[in-house]
Amino acid sequence: MKIYREKWGFPACAGAIDGTHVPIQAPLENPTNYVNRNSFHSMVMQAYVDARYLFRDIVVGWLGIVHDARVLSNSDLYYRGHQGSLFDDNITVTLLGREMKPVILGDPAYPLLRWLIKGYPENQTTTNFQRYFNFRLSRARMSVENTFGRWKGRYRRFLKRVDLTVNCITAVIAASCIMHNICELRRDNTESG
């Protein structure tokens, strides 16, 4: 949370969440369910990351047609968030004299929850304060986009169609996220082919 506060001016932020699509070969079973909004076959990976570009929670294997909010609502992260067990009870930040529990930042595709916040809707009635809040949130939320970029840069195979079975792809993606974290912790920024 310290990095989010110091680097992006967003206190009480534990991380950011988003989804990314990994291109896949059309499966034999229900291939149209894997076609995403950009008209290619894919598998969704949802990730909650921290400010050090580490994966803290991933969900892999959802059909490309599935919306980010649905992936979240069916995840262990969502369950733990609603149970109040996502963060240690001792972790709080004092803001304007009030104790605040950590939050995760999401984009407009996600629901607004006690533990997951997103920006204000942008329209004619959006105030300057709300625009400034959205600006700060957007900057801090880029940690998840940057993590995906670093992960795909390190494992470029996920930029192109992966021709493996669905079960195999989920295992390979999960393993690559673990290896990504190890590389980040060791400050090994070498990109592979």
Residue 76: helix, strand or coil by DSSP? helix
Q: Which of 134, 184, 181, 106 is nearest to 8 (CA)?
A: 134
pLDDT tens per residue across span 23-77: 999 999 999 999 999 999 999 999 999 999 999 999 999 999 999 999 999 999 9
Give the DSSP letter of residue 8. H
Determine if the pTM surpasses 0.85: yes
φ, ψ of residue 11 to 5 degrees: the values are -70, 160
Burial of 19 (0-12, 13-18, 19+ CB in 10 A): buried
**Token pair for 133:** 């809040």
pLDDT tens per residue across span 109-154: 999 999 999 999 999 999 999 999 999 999 999 999 999 999 999 9
